[in-house]
A and B are shown apart, each in its own frame.
Chain A
Amino acid sequence: MIIRRQPELRYSDVTPKSVYLNRRRFLGAASAAALGSLAGPYSAFAAPTKLNAAKTQAPFSVTDKETPLATVTNYNNFYEFGTDKPDPGRNAPKWHVPDPWTVRIEGAGAGKPQTLDLNAIMKIAPLEERIYRHRCVERWSIIVPWIGFSLSALLKLAEPNGNAKYVAFQSYYDPKVMLSQGEAGIRFPYVEGLRMDEAMNSLAMLVVGLYGETLPNQNGAPFRLVVPWKYGFKSIKSINKISLVEKEPPTTWNIANAREYGFYSNVNPEVDHPRWSQATEERLGELARRKTLKFNGYGDQVAGMYAFMDLRKNY
């Protein structure tokens, strides 16, 4: 018997944008009409949906000028959808976010392991809008009005026990529509992690939207982590697995190059990346470079967690 290998699906094989946009609109309208208020924002192929979120003050929101939406959605590092900055904005919208989207919370540290779907996640805590600084390890930064709530609210549901020393996160990965590991040069599925106290810090945010709507695919739909005092690659996108674990979990960029990307990766102008200085940054949309702030300006909220650590060694 001849078993033929299925030809690999590429971006070009995916339904054209106009078609699926129409389908989304149709389904969105149909489900809204049929289910009324019962349908959450993630009914089948939901089009970008408005989210109601309470505005927040400092330290949860900065007063810096927000980066335009077009920049936030067209200048991305999301290697699953291409390694050039404009790639995710072009390729990710063609990705059908699986529906239903379930997230497994498990691990030795989880007193109550469980599987949640998106509608359940949306109801864990009231949605807040937080305007955070976001600083990439590559020296660019943006200001984004994220929508979500503190990650701690989700973790508490799993009733962390004494074994919960770290939290490990994993991204969704589908080689049929995403780059291969060989092409991107990093391990997939993308994995990240935080120490438990970092994860429970109220600034660590579980994000379901930005600029008043659900997350665009290229920004990590349907939901992601945002850790504003760390370099952007710590803020893992499109999460489908969370584990409460005892040991420091492996993280994708650390596996790729341990000397350049540490587990902590706190924003720190005093500790250079081996190939470039981290003292300044390019705020997208501005011409002159800005000085980078230690812990990205969130020192009052987070510096205490690292009081006894050598930040040069634990970069």
Chain B
Amino acid sequence: MTIANILSSKWAKVVLFLACAIPFMRLSLPVLAALNAVPDSVANAISRSSFFVTIGPNPVEFITHYTGDWTLRLLLITLTVTPLRNLLNRPQLTRFRRMLGLFAFFYAILHLATWAWLDKQFDLSEMWKDIMKRWYITVGMAALLGMTPLAITSTAGWVRRMGFKRWQKLHRLVYFCAAAGVIHYYLLVKSDIRLPVMYGAMLTVLLAYRVIKHVRSPRRVVTRRAPAPVG
């Protein structure tokens, strides 16, 4: 079986789906245990298993950081697909991009829900105050808002409806979202900036690749359409 075959098989997508869901699976049962929603015996088994995360004594903080971290990681992985496809010359890789992007959105929604529910108890006025007052929340919210139309229009139907060019234009919004996500992280850490700076460096490389490719693109040189051959 060739690599191309493996990448094109439907099982590749199933495997990727499960892989992307692992962080959620590792989190879900411990969260239920933290909310006292499972019997003690189950909670004990969860805490003994190394598969599940250790939520620790501050569940809100842990869940917020965990879901935020996975949102950023998946956004960066999503943005790696195109460069990797081009560099390795594996066009089949494109089929995984949507799922990766949707999982990034999924973790972002969990991240938002943790904040709105566990931190703010759905107090809308408090939430609005935070969004207006705290820069890191403003920027984070902008990133999430930007991802929303991308998630909605991620289906083949929407590509057809919008036309590929317009669809592609809209989906360049992901560059903004990823940048806003990294800035959101950078703005909120207290002093140890190693991780946000690392994410920022990775994003810079991924975006620089696109800029360089765009500048070098031969299509850019030919601005006017060549006259149709007379014949």
Contacts and interface: CB of A to CB of B under 8 A. Distances in A.
Contacts of B121: 289
A86 B60 contact: no
Given A275-B134, A276-B134, A284 B191 contact: no
Nearest to A70: B57
Given A74-B56, A287-B35, A275 B188 contact: yes
A285 B57 contact: yes
B192 interface: yes
A183 B57 contact: no
A79 interface: yes
Contacts of A186: 191
A134 B188 CA distance: 23
Interface string B58-93: 111100000000000000000000000000000000
B48 to A, nearest CB: 15
Which of B35, B190, B194 counts the most chain A CB atoms within 10 A? B190
A71 interface: yes
Interface string A160-204: 000000000000000000000001111000000000000000000
A282 B192 contact: no
A284 B188 contact: no
B58 A79 contact: no
Nearest to A288: B121
Nearest to A261: B190
A65 to B, nearest CB: 13
Contacts of A274: 134
Given A79-B192, A83-B191, A275-B188, A287 B59 contact: yes
A185 B134 contact: no
A184 B191 contact: yes
Nearest to B134: A275
